[in-house]
Structure 1
Amino acid sequence: MECAIAVIIVVIVAQCGAVPLASPSQEELSKAQAYLSRFFSDVGVSAPNTVWRSSLDSFDETLRKMQKYFGLEETGQLDSNTIEVMARPRCGFTDVPRYGHFEGRPKWHKRLITYRITEYSPDLSQSDVDTTIAKAFKVYSDVIPLDFKKIDSGTADIMIKFKARDHGDFAPFDGQGGVLAHAFSPGEGNGGDAHFDEDETWTLTSSGANLFLVAAHEFGHAMGLAHSQDQTALMFPTYQYVNTDNYRLPDDDRLGVQATYAIPDPNPQPTKKPVPKPVPEPEPEPDPEPTSEPPPDRCNRYLIFDAATTIDGNLHFFKDGHFWSRGSNWDGITLKKIDSVWPGIKRVDAAYEYKPDNTVIFFEGDHYWGIRGNTVLPGYPKPISDFGFPRYITKVDAAVYVPFISKTLLFVRGKYWSYNERRGRMDGGYPKRINKEFRGIGLSVDAAFANKGYLYFSSGFRQTEYHYNRRRVIRTLLNSGWMDCK
């Protein structure tokens, strides 16, 4: 998913009249911190005079970024204008300058894109919703060589629904106001899907949330557009009503989407006269084949971990036969090949640290290894059936030892088991469904680890910080947020 994306539109920000706040209240600081963490930082922002373990920028620095983005005075301090902008309904996706594209520039690789509306809003008639959604898609088909077709059954490229709060994806809605809707960038599965918060009042006028404007913005994300810093752009992150009669895509958005879906020249003309082909030179010897795959890019926004765990106080993140190690003092990232440290182990699918006996378990396919420091313990590998898995389980997706309960959670596809470390056997009553027992973390888990009192669950390139005792998601992160990337 390319973010919990919400609504947008053109907004003009006041440039003067800001009233400084001599001493912002704790509630104002908390709201500002949450806003900056969600929209202007990949991993979180610390408030003044507090320590936030995942902060890569200070509160003041990040606040200046936000103020610059919206054309406010860059004071790094909360004032009335800054708080007013933070309070506006907006899109849940992070902000970038001018028109932007998602990392890797995802796009649709076919001309006909289907869409289906599975759940409607009671605020409008079904025919009004159908007409408005079609009109929002037409904004794009007017300027790029894509066609959009509504279907009434089966799975479409873009699935659309109106739902409130937790609605089965990685980003529950927050009630009326705030995030109005969100969408996914182009791709398989959820790619392109758009969800609208049913707690909003959907209208076709200037009152409530205008469905056409919100949908047109979200479909921009579904086409591969990120946010724009141009305040006249449809893809500007905050919502404000504009006249929708004869609406045309603003220039900034048009240039952005046309840069992705180039319009071919129907009558191309040669720019040079043809010249005779030269006599071919002897072909050079081909370069030797590379001896190994290039290391993974830790700063790829769409980074997906194979596994993650702590080892002797340091965080370790595994990917494609390599691992990154991050020190407890956030003193930089090191990259190494797994088998250069632990000979015989080529890949790690899941991992966890059992601190009582200072042992780390690496899962690789249908077997597992015991590790202590940089040493592979004798007697390994062993079959994962030793844990008590049924024979049809041939791979573990993720694992994490939960010190509060002295048990290890083992994730396989959409289910998980609980392993009692003290008794050396699985608990009864398992497996259980992930989405029922850990609401909000996703349908599956690719990697999991415990850090400073929280559990972290990665699903795709996104991650949730989870409070186990409260059984609630604290916030949503990106995997790459741990990688010290600018």
Structure 2
Amino acid sequence: MERPSIVKVALMMMMTVALSGAVPTILTGEEDHAKAQDYLSQYFSEVGVTTGSEQWRSGLDSFTDTLKMMQEFFGLEVTGQLDSDTMEVMLQPRCGFTDLPTFKYAHFDGQPKWDKNVVTYRITEYTPDLSQSFVDATLAKALQIYSDVVPLDFKQIQTGTADIMIKFKAHDHGDFAPFDGEGGVLAHAFSPGGGRGGDTHFDEDETWTLSSSGVNLFLVAAHEFGHALGLSHSKVQTALMFPTYRYINTEGYVLPEDDRQGVQALYGVRSSTKPTMKPAPKPQPEPEPEPEPQPEPEPEPTQEPDPGPAQEPDRCSRNLMFDAATSIQRHLYFFKGSHFWKRSSNWDGVSTRTINSVWSGINKVDAAYEYGPRGAVFLIEGDHYWQVKRNTVLPGFPKPLSDFGLPSSVTKVDAAVHIPFVGRTLFFVNNKYWSYNERRGRMDRRNPRLIRTELPGIGYRVDAAFEYRGYLFFSYGSRQTQYNYLRRRAVRTLMSSDWMDCD
């Protein structure tokens, strides 16, 4: 899947846009366009729209084309102009998973599914809005609409790790896809697979109900379990897997035709009578989670042995160290040796490739960063760098690092990260860094700067760095610091392997 299938996911059901006949108002304000840009970047990122208000000004064609695709997906009048009807849809509660421009049911890339007949699930944290017995019964009912039509059975367990781990939690809840408060994203789920695969999370800031008031738990859970079984979003507005939420009567609810075809395309048709699902026993309260470890003075990391170009590094090792990391079109890329891992914004897991198989002529990456307004991605090795776009290395590269204004004495960069809200790219070399003004195309005056002094809380060295959801993440050895740049303050300490969807 924030597999998280990333990357978010909330429900949702069919949505009928009621037009009263009034001519929609064209919205021209910068704030409205910024909201629209954020929406398109989050939910239609696969069609190439980039983020930031500057992209709206300098990349209007991209914004317009993506807006047209969004309007077509939701059955709106396709104008390419931001109007009041379009904004109304954008403000609807919905699933956090990306919308792909399909005309019916869709599956995740690679069509992941469960290769077993009995799928286990466990609820580790309940909502106080409903009794635990009601939550158990409702989630069992939401799973049963799938087991009624495909040869899968679901079993609730009370201890250990289940295939589908379920919890109700607000804001940051440990999967790098924090919820956004009441409204907006209601829940999200990961596509089938190991680690976090199938896990389903509900936003505790919502008011969960079994009726038309608040947010109906059955409808949201049924949609999210569709993702947990391998279904992506559908363009069919009467489908369960339509991305926005709308209440309908759940009495006697059966899986709509589009969703039934989608899940049966993955698992086949149930031909025998399914055994009656027994009521789930009431789970015991979960123990209080242990507090996160506090940052400690960081020792010099022990370099892992080079596995060689043909050997894939162990992404689940607790000693995992990144060579470089960056976001590219809202996906996260982590480089190690001759390989990289891609953590998709579509919540469909972590994939592995060799660097050279994607960017011909590049075998290793020491540092990498993405500069959003130009859609440019820079990959650095030794004293030279390449600019790439998608899977293509642009002509005229590699070029020397000195093009950025780095001194000739710098023959290798440890890490690089672009900070979009200040327009600066930081290049880390040993215990110092250089600040580069991307908009002016030149280094800032006061360079280099001491890491320990200017960025307190991250230590003396940086191996890899990237920006994600407004925070910077600095890795040194196997440990990583989430950092608030504007406040110059460490938020929490992570392990590099936490991004790898491992148990």
Tell me whether the two structures share a fold, i.e. TM-score over 0.5.
Answer: yes
300 and 75 in structure 1: CA distance in 2 versus 1, 3 angstrom threshold: closer
1:306 to 2:335 alignment: yes
1:336 to 2:360 alignment: yes
Structure 1 residue aligned with 2:485, among 462, 468, 472?
468
TM-score, normalised via structure 2 length = 0.61
Q: Deviations over 1:418-463 (max 9, x none)?
A: 83469999969x99899xxxxxxxxxx9964589x996899xxxxx
User: 1:102 and 1:228 mapped to 2: Cα distance?
Assistant: 12
Q: Deviations over 1:101-142 (max 9, x none)?
A: 000001001111111100000000011001101111101111
For 2:250, give the aligned amino acid.
T
User: 2:58 and 2:162 mapped to 1: Cα distance?
Assistant: 38
1:166 to 2:178 alignment: no
1:92 to 2:93 alignment: no
131 and 431 in structure 1: CA distance in 2 versus 1, 3 angstrom threshold: farther
User: 2:199 and 2:44 mapped to 1: Cα distance?
Assistant: 23
255 and 350 in structure 1: CA distance in 2 versus 1, 3 angstrom threshold: same
SS in 2 for 1:162: strand
Structure 2 residue aligned with 1:116, among 106, 110, 122?
122
Matches within 5 A, 1:111-190: 111-190=117-196
Extract unaligned runs of 5+ from structure 1: 267-291, 294-298, 309-317, 325-334, 339-346, 354-359, 363-369, 378-397, 410-417, 435-444, 459-464, 473-486
Partner in structure 2 of residue 82 of structure 1: 86
1:17 Cα deviation from its structure 2 partner: 2.6
User: 1:447 and 1:61 mapped to 2: Cα distance?
Assistant: 35
CA contact (8 A) 1:99 1:227 kept: yes
1:100 Cα deviation from its structure 2 partner: 0.3
1:400 to 2:406 alignment: no
1:319 Cα deviation from its structure 2 partner: 5.2
Partner in structure 2 of residue 419 of structure 1: 431
1:18 Cα deviation from its structure 2 partner: 4.8
1:45 Cα deviation from its structure 2 partner: 4.4
For 2:354, give the aligned amino acid.
D
405 and 254 in structure 1: CA distance in 2 versus 1, 3 angstrom threshold: closer
432 and 117 in structure 1: CA distance in 2 versus 1, 3 angstrom threshold: farther
SS in 1 for 2:201: strand
Structure 1 residue aligned with 2:23, among 5, 19, 24?
19
431 and 33 in structure 1: CA distance in 2 versus 1, 3 angstrom threshold: closer
1:51 to 2:55 alignment: yes
For 1:154, give the aligned amino acid.
G
User: 1:376 and 1:178 mapped to 2: Cα distance?
Assistant: 45
CA contact (8 A) 1:14 1:81 kept: no
User: 1:101 and 1:25 mapped to 2: Cα distance?
Assistant: 37
Partner in structure 1 of residue 383 of structure 2: 371
Partner in structure 2 of residue 30 of structure 1: 34
How many residues are matched? 356
For 2:77, give the aligned amino acid.
E
User: 1:5 and 1:217 mapped to 2: Cα distance?
Assistant: 9
Partner in structure 2 of residue 198 of structure 1: 204
Partner in structure 2 of residue 348 of structure 1: 364
For 1:77, give the aligned amino acid.
Q
User: 2:245 and 2:195 mapped to 1: Cα distance?
Assistant: 28
471 and 58 in structure 1: CA distance in 2 versus 1, 3 angstrom threshold: farther
SS in 2 for 1:34: helix
User: 1:151 and 1:406 mapped to 2: Cα distance?
Assistant: 48
1:55 Cα deviation from its structure 2 partner: 6.1
**Rg bigger for which structure?**
1
Extract unaligned runs of 5+ from structure 2: 273-308, 311-327, 338-351, 370-378, 386-397, 402-413, 434-446, 476-481, 490-503
TM-score, normalised via structure 1 length = 0.62
User: 1:149 and 1:115 mapped to 2: Cα distance?
Assistant: 6
1:41 to 2:65 alignment: no
Structure 1 residue aligned with 2:354, among 305, 315, 320?
320
For 1:222, give the aligned amino acid.
A
For 1:209, give the aligned amino acid.
V
Two-structure CA RMSD over aligned residues (Å): 4.4
| Greater RCO (CA < 8 Å, at least 6 residues apart) | 2
Matches within 5 A, 1:372-391: 372=384
1:306 Cα deviation from its structure 2 partner: 2.2
CA contact (8 A) 2:38 2:51 kept: no
446 and 250 in structure 1: CA distance in 2 versus 1, 3 angstrom threshold: farther
CA contact (8 A) 1:15 1:72 kept: no
What is the percentage of aligned positions where both structures have the same residue? 56
Partner in structure 2 of residue 226 of structure 1: 232
SS in 1 for 2:383: strand
